[in-house]
Structure 1
Amino acid sequence: MARFVDRLLGLPEETTPAVETARDLRVPMPDGTVLRADLHRPRGAGPLPAVLVRTPYGKAQRPVRYFTGVLARRGFQVVVQDVRGIGGSGGEFRAFHHEREDGLATLKWLRAQPWCDGRVAMAGASYLGFTQWAVAPYADPPLAALGLGVTASEFVGSFYPGGAMALFNTLVWSSSMGTRDERFAPLHARRVRRAMRHLPVGEADLAAIGRPEPFLRDVAAHTEPGNGFWDATDHSAAVAATTAPASMVTGWWDLFLRGQLRDFAALDAAGRGPRITIGPWGHDARALRAVLADQVSWLGAHLHGDAAELRRAPVRLYLQGAGRWLDFDAWPPPGTEPTRLYLSQGLAWEEPTGTDDPATFVYDPFDPTPNIGGPLLAPGKGRQRDNAVMERRGDVAVLTGAPLDRDLDLIGPVSATVHVWTSTGHGDLFVRLCDVDRDGVSRNVTDGIVRIAEPGTVRADVEMHPTGYRFRRGHRLRVVLAGGAFPRFARNPGTGEPIGRAVAMRRTGFEVFRDASRPSALTLPVWRG
């Protein structure tokens, strides 16, 4: 079955069908805790470099076994370890908090084993990628290579994008971790979805899985900026100092895209020579083929001396809407020009000169504006969707431009600067860019949210999801403004009370200004290549 899946995913032929396995090796930590690891290596081989994989999902779980099997069957010596508190590993699992110390201790232990020649690479995706960033900047000597799939050096930005709590992804992941040892865990899915309306948010785990779950409680309790709780889990400041060669895979609809692109840019600016692939997928099985193929080739180049796969451009990306893969030497690509798209009675490329009335809407947390699509941990619900249901509501402002007279390519970071007033002084401004086709169907391309916590008119700077997208000739650009996107983001109660414990809620009125003295606009990365 594994060989069949390998062929289905287009992976290279296996080279080492004879693999021996040693299970539950004891790896002592400095505090006396013992973590457990499995070793997979070519039968009868002498000392070899090792690929370290550290996972919170259980080394015996099928996806983890398949991933390590792909590497082992291609001649790599693989050590897969349950992180603290998972599977047979001792201690308490506290998401993201122990990975630096435990990872470095594991690396020291691994290099001392007689079957390891001292060279160690790391590989994996998502949390397994984070465990790499928790080690790589601090490893001495450096790691031999990094295979970083749909991940980032810090996850905090994905917990609170723009200051709003990412409720859907947080509750889905925390619920799956809280039921990871249960035989019928998938049956919780419907309860989890209903629990997203539970108040206070900090106790939504009780409604979802019937008991407290530490990660959900940590995220809900530390939504206020500057409290320092997550500081030790943020490795972004050390990225530029990382000398291990790094290859990355991400997707335009991946929730960690922004962080991963920042990591790539930091490594590139430091002259580290990273490479990245950005495809038309999200944080899901669609990315699996690219991640596996990329990591097999990258590890082969740096551990087996097979440099053929190194002869490619540093940046390879898929231009959505055009159906084309493009290669570039840098990110953002050369030839990209930041261009302002102004909010007016519709949308305009020219700066406003008049006194247009503000766009107005009222956000009601008792009947929150729904989210449609986007970067979600939900197969079949994320990515690009028809936005008609949302755009017909009375609690959104919809602004549409004229039909395009030529194709418009956007490749790079997207942002918005919006002058906005809120009636309560507390609200979330959600900004979405859509593509309206010739039949009038509006599909989301990118979006972002920012939390407002001051009275009066404010300038809201919204970091939106980067994109690579072609708007076809005859299509129209559309901007949708709202006070939220539920349940992707937790409802803003309009009271200023911390999200984790808020129960009372107030409606919030919005006015978005678009006149000459207070121009609001999106900044789009127009590529003229």
Structure 2
Amino acid sequence: MLVKFAQNNSLTEKQPTSQSGEDKYTINFEATTGPDSRWNQSFEKMVFPNRTEEDKKLLTYTSEPLKNDVEITGDPVVTLYVTSTANDGAFFVYLEDVDENGNVTYITEGQLRPIHRKISNESPPYAIFGPYHSFKRKDSLPFEPGQLTELSFHLLPTSVLFKQGHQIRVAIAGHDKDLFARYPAEGTPEISVQRNAVNASYIDLPLMKGKRG
């Protein structure tokens, strides 16, 4: 299921028709998934805090309330068309569930430093279900300020049921202060996410057959 980023911070399956459309976001380096993130918990039992307040620090896109239950199983893949005022950075994309009361639950995430955006044709040394980035120095690409750049990467695999009446949210950050190194080390970049007919940023959600919302 291809879901596009749209105006008014929405998610839609409709193809954008406008030739222009973008959302600017100044990186908030206080953004974090916190000490109780997936990186610090046991896989035997994982409980994530409500991210309603944290999402106010991020650039978010949210669907309309679902008319039916929707099951997502597999590796979501996000494709962003972006520019930045900096020559380095990091992009964090979170998939979240928003219930009827506005409570936000973390589902999964993916990260990519744009210098590693090259999609490799080599055979990966491990199983991967999405674009393969080698992260090798020889495959690194410059990230130029103001230059439109395509970033495509997968989120960690998940299997989740979004219930009827809930909303699907994609949240974008430029840092996770409790867990990852800061890129760039100095300055406060502004990024622009394109969402138009020419460059339509989107997320591909692995929808289980017959589970469309």
The bucket for the TM-score relative to the shorter chain is: 0.7 to 0.9
Match among 18, 31, 51 for residue 387 of structure 1? 51
Question: Residues 201-233 of structure 1: CA distance to partner in whole angstroms, max 9, x if unpaired?
Answer: xxxxxxxxxxxxxxxxxxxxxxxxxxxxxxxxx
CA distance in 2, matches of 1:382, 1:427: 29
Match among 187, 191, 198 for residue 510 of structure 1? 191
CA distance in 2, matches of 1:476, 1:461: 23
Report how far residue 528 of structure 1 moved: 1.8
CA distance in 2, matches of 1:378, 1:412: 21
Question: Residues 45-74 of structure 1: CA distance to partner in whole angstroms, max 9, x if unpaired?
Answer: xxxxxxxxxxxxxxxxxxxxxxxxxxxxxx
Give the TM-score of the pair, scaled to structure 2. Answer: 0.76
Q: How many residues align?
A: 177
Match among 449, 452, 462 for residue 153 of structure 2? 462
CA distance in 1, matches of 2:181, 2:33: 11
Contact 2:79 2:150 in 1 (8 A): yes
Q: Are the structure 2 counterparts of residues 383 and 416 from structure 1 closer, same or farther at C-alpha, using a change threshold of 3 Å?
A: farther
Question: Residues 350-391 of structure 1: CA distance to partner in whole angstroms, max 9, x if unpaired?
Answer: 221114531111125xx4321245421345996533111211
Report how far residue 419 of structure 1 moved: 0.4
Is residue 99 of structure 2 the alignment partner of residue 437 of structure 1?
Answer: yes
Is residue 87 of structure 2 the alignment partner of residue 406 of structure 1?
Answer: no
CA distance in 2, matches of 1:404, 1:410: 13
Is residue 43 of structure 2 the alignment partner of residue 375 of structure 1?
Answer: no
Unaligned runs of 5+ in 2: 116-142
User: 1:391 corresponds to which letter in structure 2?
Assistant: D
SS of the residue corresponding to residue 433 of structure 1 reads strand
CA distance in 2, matches of 1:470, 1:361: 30
SS of the residue corresponding to residue 361 of structure 1 reads strand
SS of the residue corresponding to residue 388 of structure 1 reads coil
SS of the residue corresponding to residue 491 of structure 1 reads coil
Question: Residues 129-175 of structure 1: CA distance to partner in whole angstroms, max 9, x if unpaired?
Answer: xxxxxxxxxxxxxxxxxxxxxxxxxxxxxxxxxxxxxxxxxxxxxxx
Is residue 141 of structure 2 the alignment partner of residue 477 of structure 1?
Answer: no
CA distance in 1, matches of 2:18, 2:81: 16
Match among 7, 11, 31 for residue 347 of structure 1? 11
CA distance in 2, matches of 1:418, 1:383: 29
Aligned to 1:527: 208
Contact 1:433 1:446 in 2 (8 A): yes
User: 2:25 corresponds to which letter in structure 1?
Assistant: F
Q: Are the structure 2 counterparts of residues 383 and 522 from structure 1 closer, same or farther at C-alpha, using a change threshold of 3 Å?
A: farther
Contact 2:51 2:106 in 1 (8 A): yes
Give the TM-score of the pair, scaled to structure 1. Answer: 0.32
User: 1:490 corresponds to which letter in structure 2?
Assistant: A
1:268-287 alignment, distance < 5 Å: none
Aligned to 1:250: none
CA distance in 2, matches of 1:468, 1:340: 17
Report how far residue 482 of structure 1 moved: 1.2
Rg larger for: 1
Is residue 39 of structure 2 the alignment partner of residue 358 of structure 1?
Answer: no
Q: Are the structure 2 counterparts of residues 368 and 491 from structure 1 closer, same or farther at C-alpha, using a change threshold of 3 Å?
A: farther
Q: Are the structure 2 counterparts of residues 374 and 350 from structure 1 closer, same or farther at C-alpha, using a change threshold of 3 Å?
A: farther
CA distance in 2, matches of 1:460, 1:518: 12
CA distance in 1, matches of 2:46, 2:148: 33
Aligned CA RMSD, in angstroms, stands at 2.1
Contact 1:368 1:491 in 2 (8 A): no
CA distance in 2, matches of 1:418, 1:427: 14
Unaligned runs of 5+ in 1: 1-338, 495-503
Contact 1:376 1:383 in 2 (8 A): no
Contact 1:437 1:475 in 2 (8 A): yes
SS of the residue corresponding to residue 153 of structure 2 reads strand
Contact 2:52 2:102 in 1 (8 A): no
The sequence identity of aligned pairs, in percent, is: 24
CA distance in 1, matches of 2:91, 2:200: 16
